Amino acid sequence: MTPEGEALLCQGADELKITLDDARQAQFAALMTLLQEANTKVNLTALKTETDIILKHFVDSLSCLRGGHLDGAGRVLDLGTGAGFPALPLAIMRPDTIFSPLDSIRKKIDFVRGAAEALGLGNVQPQVGRAETLGRDPAHRDTYDRVVCRAVAALPVLAELALPLLRPGGLLVAQKGPIAEDELEAGRRAATELGGRVTTVDAFALPVLGDARTLVVVEKVSPSPSKYPRREGVPASQPLF
Protein backbone atom coordinates (compact mmCIF):
# COMPACT_ATOMS: atom_id res chain seq x y z
CA MET A 1 0.00 0.00 0.00
CA THR A 2 1.33 3.46 -0.82
CA PRO A 3 2.00 6.00 1.96
CA GLU A 4 -1.00 7.98 0.62
CA GLY A 5 -3.13 4.84 0.91
CA GLU A 6 -2.00 4.27 4.49
CA ALA A 7 -2.91 7.86 5.36
CA LEU A 8 -6.34 7.47 3.72
CA LEU A 9 -7.03 4.23 5.60
CA CYS A 10 -6.08 5.87 8.91
CA GLN A 11 -8.21 8.93 8.10
CA GLY A 12 -11.23 6.74 7.31
CA ALA A 13 -10.72 4.67 10.43
CA ASP A 14 -10.25 7.82 12.55
CA GLU A 15 -13.60 9.16 11.37
CA LEU A 16 -15.13 5.93 12.67
CA LYS A 17 -13.24 6.44 15.94
CA ILE A 18 -11.13 3.35 15.21
CA THR A 19 -7.39 3.39 15.84
CA LEU A 20 -5.26 1.18 13.64
CA ASP A 21 -1.99 0.03 15.22
CA ASP A 22 1.04 -0.82 13.08
CA ALA A 23 0.27 -4.55 13.05
CA ARG A 24 -3.25 -3.97 11.76
CA GLN A 25 -2.09 -1.46 9.16
CA ALA A 26 0.33 -4.11 7.92
CA GLN A 27 -2.52 -6.65 7.72
CA PHE A 28 -4.63 -4.24 5.64
CA ALA A 29 -1.64 -3.56 3.38
CA ALA A 30 -1.12 -7.31 2.90
CA LEU A 31 -4.83 -7.78 2.15
CA MET A 32 -4.63 -5.03 -0.48
CA THR A 33 -1.74 -6.81 -2.22
CA LEU A 34 -3.48 -10.20 -2.13
CA LEU A 35 -6.76 -8.77 -3.43
CA GLN A 36 -5.17 -6.86 -6.29
CA GLU A 37 -3.02 -9.87 -7.28
CA ALA A 38 -5.92 -12.31 -7.16
CA ASN A 39 -8.16 -9.91 -9.06
CA THR A 40 -5.85 -10.07 -12.08
CA LYS A 41 -6.58 -13.83 -12.32
CA VAL A 42 -10.13 -14.24 -11.02
CA ASN A 43 -12.92 -11.69 -11.04
CA LEU A 44 -13.31 -11.25 -7.29
CA THR A 45 -14.37 -7.64 -6.97
CA ALA A 46 -15.26 -4.79 -9.30
CA LEU A 47 -13.22 -2.37 -7.18
CA LYS A 48 -9.66 -2.30 -8.47
CA THR A 49 -7.90 0.93 -7.48
CA GLU A 50 -6.15 1.33 -4.15
CA THR A 51 -8.36 4.28 -3.19
CA ASP A 52 -11.58 2.41 -4.01
CA ILE A 53 -10.48 -0.69 -2.12
CA ILE A 54 -9.45 1.34 0.92
CA LEU A 55 -12.61 3.42 1.14
CA LYS A 56 -15.31 1.17 -0.33
CA HIS A 57 -14.08 -2.19 0.98
CA PHE A 58 -11.88 -1.62 4.04
CA VAL A 59 -13.39 1.51 5.61
CA ASP A 60 -16.92 0.61 4.55
CA SER A 61 -16.54 -2.80 6.20
CA LEU A 62 -15.21 -1.19 9.38
CA SER A 63 -18.32 1.01 9.54
CA CYS A 64 -20.12 -2.17 10.63
CA LEU A 65 -18.55 -1.55 14.05
CA ARG A 66 -20.61 1.63 14.53
CA GLY A 67 -22.94 1.48 17.46
CA GLY A 68 -21.21 -1.45 19.15
CA HIS A 69 -23.63 -4.02 17.72
CA LEU A 70 -20.85 -6.61 17.38
CA ASP A 71 -19.52 -6.11 20.91
CA GLY A 72 -19.40 -9.31 22.94
CA ALA A 73 -20.26 -11.53 19.96
CA GLY A 74 -18.61 -14.95 19.95
CA ARG A 75 -19.58 -16.19 16.48
CA VAL A 76 -20.42 -13.98 13.53
CA LEU A 77 -21.58 -15.24 10.13
CA ASP A 78 -20.86 -12.99 7.13
CA LEU A 79 -23.66 -13.93 4.74
CA GLY A 80 -22.58 -13.53 1.10
CA THR A 81 -19.03 -12.42 1.91
CA GLY A 82 -17.75 -12.29 -1.68
CA ALA A 83 -14.02 -11.53 -1.45
CA GLY A 84 -14.31 -11.32 2.35
CA PHE A 85 -16.21 -8.13 3.10
CA PRO A 86 -16.99 -7.15 5.74
CA ALA A 87 -15.59 -10.31 7.43
CA LEU A 88 -11.84 -9.87 6.86
CA PRO A 89 -11.54 -6.23 8.05
CA LEU A 90 -13.74 -7.08 11.04
CA ALA A 91 -11.63 -10.15 11.85
CA ILE A 92 -8.51 -7.95 11.80
CA MET A 93 -10.12 -5.61 14.34
CA ARG A 94 -11.76 -8.27 16.54
CA PRO A 95 -9.33 -11.16 17.14
CA ASP A 96 -11.48 -12.57 19.96
CA THR A 97 -14.51 -13.06 17.73
CA ILE A 98 -14.86 -16.03 15.36
CA PHE A 99 -15.96 -14.90 11.88
CA SER A 100 -17.50 -17.34 9.40
CA PRO A 101 -17.49 -15.83 5.91
CA LEU A 102 -20.09 -17.70 3.83
CA ASP A 103 -20.50 -17.63 0.07
CA SER A 104 -22.00 -19.98 -2.47
CA ILE A 105 -19.10 -19.37 -4.89
CA ARG A 106 -16.12 -21.57 -4.13
CA LYS A 107 -13.45 -19.43 -5.80
CA LYS A 108 -14.41 -16.52 -3.53
CA ILE A 109 -14.14 -18.62 -0.39
CA ASP A 110 -10.83 -20.07 -1.63
CA PHE A 111 -9.54 -16.50 -1.77
CA VAL A 112 -10.91 -15.64 1.69
CA ARG A 113 -9.35 -18.78 3.20
CA GLY A 114 -5.96 -18.07 1.62
CA ALA A 115 -6.06 -14.41 2.66
CA ALA A 116 -7.00 -15.27 6.26
CA GLU A 117 -4.09 -17.71 6.43
CA ALA A 118 -1.64 -15.24 4.91
CA LEU A 119 -2.73 -12.54 7.39
CA GLY A 120 -2.44 -14.92 10.33
CA LEU A 121 -6.12 -14.58 11.18
CA GLY A 122 -6.88 -17.64 13.29
CA ASN A 123 -10.40 -16.34 13.95
CA VAL A 124 -11.72 -16.84 10.40
CA GLN A 125 -13.60 -20.02 9.43
CA PRO A 126 -14.73 -19.69 5.80
CA GLN A 127 -17.54 -21.85 4.42
CA VAL A 128 -18.80 -22.58 0.90
CA GLY A 129 -22.56 -22.90 0.84
CA ARG A 130 -25.92 -21.20 0.64
CA ALA A 131 -27.59 -19.48 3.55
CA GLU A 132 -30.83 -21.37 2.79
CA THR A 133 -29.03 -24.70 3.31
CA LEU A 134 -27.23 -23.62 6.47
CA GLY A 135 -30.48 -22.26 7.86
CA ARG A 136 -32.00 -25.75 7.72
CA ASP A 137 -28.94 -27.51 9.12
CA PRO A 138 -29.17 -28.12 12.90
CA ALA A 139 -25.41 -27.58 13.15
CA HIS A 140 -25.94 -23.95 12.09
CA ARG A 141 -29.58 -23.01 12.75
CA ASP A 142 -30.08 -20.92 15.93
CA THR A 143 -26.33 -20.85 16.60
CA TYR A 144 -24.79 -17.53 15.52
CA ASP A 145 -24.57 -14.48 17.79
CA ARG A 146 -24.56 -12.10 14.82
CA VAL A 147 -25.11 -12.23 11.09
CA VAL A 148 -23.52 -9.40 9.13
CA CYS A 149 -24.07 -8.83 5.44
CA ARG A 150 -23.25 -6.21 2.87
CA ALA A 151 -24.64 -5.81 -0.65
CA VAL A 152 -26.38 -9.18 -0.77
CA ALA A 153 -30.16 -8.65 -1.02
CA ALA A 154 -33.10 -6.49 -0.01
CA LEU A 155 -34.02 -6.47 3.67
CA PRO A 156 -37.00 -8.89 3.45
CA VAL A 157 -34.74 -11.47 1.75
CA LEU A 158 -32.01 -10.95 4.34
CA ALA A 159 -34.50 -11.43 7.15
CA GLU A 160 -35.51 -14.84 5.78
CA LEU A 161 -31.89 -15.92 5.17
CA ALA A 162 -30.36 -14.60 8.37
CA LEU A 163 -32.87 -14.85 11.21
CA PRO A 164 -33.09 -18.68 11.27
CA LEU A 165 -29.32 -18.78 11.73
CA LEU A 166 -29.32 -16.52 14.79
CA ARG A 167 -29.65 -17.68 18.37
CA PRO A 168 -32.50 -16.03 20.30
CA GLY A 169 -31.32 -12.53 21.20
CA GLY A 170 -28.84 -12.55 18.28
CA LEU A 171 -28.61 -9.64 15.85
CA LEU A 172 -28.65 -9.25 12.10
CA VAL A 173 -26.49 -6.24 11.21
CA ALA A 174 -27.22 -5.38 7.58
CA GLN A 175 -25.03 -2.83 5.79
CA LYS A 176 -27.04 -0.94 3.21
CA GLY A 177 -26.71 2.18 1.11
CA PRO A 178 -29.53 4.69 1.45
CA ILE A 179 -32.58 2.56 2.27
CA ALA A 180 -35.99 3.40 0.82
CA GLU A 181 -38.93 3.57 3.21
CA ASP A 182 -40.79 0.81 1.32
CA GLU A 183 -37.82 -1.61 1.63
CA LEU A 184 -37.60 -0.81 5.31
CA GLU A 185 -41.33 -1.36 5.81
CA ALA A 186 -41.21 -4.68 3.91
CA GLY A 187 -38.15 -5.62 5.99
CA ARG A 188 -40.02 -4.88 9.23
CA ARG A 189 -42.87 -7.14 8.16
CA ALA A 190 -40.50 -9.94 7.07
CA ALA A 191 -38.60 -9.63 10.35
CA THR A 192 -41.82 -10.03 12.32
CA GLU A 193 -42.75 -13.12 10.27
CA LEU A 194 -39.31 -14.61 11.01
CA GLY A 195 -39.34 -13.86 14.75
CA GLY A 196 -37.37 -10.63 14.55
CA ARG A 197 -37.75 -6.94 15.29
CA VAL A 198 -35.96 -4.00 13.67
CA THR A 199 -34.25 -2.22 16.56
CA THR A 200 -31.96 0.29 14.86
CA VAL A 201 -31.83 2.20 11.59
CA ASP A 202 -28.55 4.11 11.70
CA ALA A 203 -28.09 6.44 8.71
CA PHE A 204 -24.62 7.93 8.32
CA ALA A 205 -22.08 9.17 5.77
CA LEU A 206 -19.20 6.95 4.64
CA PRO A 207 -15.95 8.51 5.90
CA VAL A 208 -14.02 10.66 3.41
CA LEU A 209 -16.43 10.08 0.49
CA GLY A 210 -19.62 11.08 2.28
CA ASP A 211 -21.77 8.46 0.48
CA ALA A 212 -25.03 7.60 2.25
CA ARG A 213 -24.96 4.38 4.28
CA THR A 214 -27.40 2.72 6.65
CA LEU A 215 -26.88 0.02 9.25
CA VAL A 216 -30.12 -1.83 9.89
CA VAL A 217 -30.15 -3.99 13.01
CA VAL A 218 -32.74 -6.73 13.52
CA GLU A 219 -32.95 -8.60 16.82
CA LYS A 220 -34.21 -12.18 16.93
CA VAL A 221 -36.83 -12.11 19.65
CA SER A 222 -38.50 -15.50 19.07
CA PRO A 223 -37.78 -18.72 17.13
CA SER A 224 -38.10 -18.55 13.35
CA PRO A 225 -40.94 -20.76 12.01
CA SER A 226 -39.56 -24.09 10.78
CA LYS A 227 -40.87 -23.48 7.24
CA TYR A 228 -38.16 -20.81 6.81
CA PRO A 229 -35.86 -20.38 5.02
CA ARG A 230 -37.61 -21.69 1.94
CA ARG A 231 -35.61 -23.73 -0.58
CA GLU A 232 -32.55 -22.36 -2.36
CA GLY A 233 -33.25 -19.29 -4.47
CA VAL A 234 -36.87 -18.84 -3.38
CA PRO A 235 -36.27 -16.13 -0.73
CA ALA A 236 -34.72 -13.89 -3.41
CA SER A 237 -37.04 -14.79 -6.30
CA GLN A 238 -40.26 -14.63 -4.24
CA PRO A 239 -39.59 -12.24 -1.33
CA LEU A 240 -42.05 -12.57 1.54
CA PHE A 241 -43.01 -8.90 1.35
Q: Which residues bind ligand SAM (CB under 6 A)?
A: 80-82, 85, 102-105, 108, 130-132, 150-152, 161
Closest CB 64 distance from ligand SAM, rounded Å: 10
**Amino acid, single-letter form, for residue 191:** A
**DSSP structural state of residue 164:** G
Identify the helix (H) or strand (E) that includes residue 218.
strand 212-220
Closest CB 187 distance from ligand SAM, rounded Å: 16
**CA 166, chain centre distance (Å):** 14
Reported residue count of the chain is: 241
By C-beta, is 7 or 137 nearer to ligand SAM?
137
String of DSSP letters for 120-150: T-TTB--EES-HHHHTT-TTTTT-EEEEEEE
By C-beta, is 108 or 220 nearer to ligand SAM?
108
Closest CB 232 distance from ligand SAM, rounded Å: 7
By C-beta, is 221 or 230 nearer to ligand SAM?
230
By C-beta, is 86 or 195 nearer to ligand SAM?
86
**DSSP structural state of residue 54:** I
By C-beta, is 18 or 148 nearer to ligand SAM?
148
By C-beta, is 4 or 104 nearer to ligand SAM?
104
Of the candidates 79, 59, 74, 91, the residue with the CA atom closest to the CA atom of residue 208: 59
CA–CA separation, 76 vs 90, rounded Å? 10
Identify the helix (H) or strand (E) that includes residue 91.
helix 87-93
CB atoms within 10 A of CB 231: 10
Closest CB 131 distance from ligand SAM, rounded Å: 4
Closest CB 105 distance from ligand SAM, rounded Å: 5
Closest CB 119 distance from ligand SAM, rounded Å: 17
Closest CB 22 distance from ligand SAM, rounded Å: 26
By C-beta, is 7 or 112 nearer to ligand SAM?
112
CA–CA separation, 198 vs 177, rounded Å? 17
Are β-strands 196-205 and 166-176 bridged in parallel, bridged antiparallel, or unpaired? unpaired
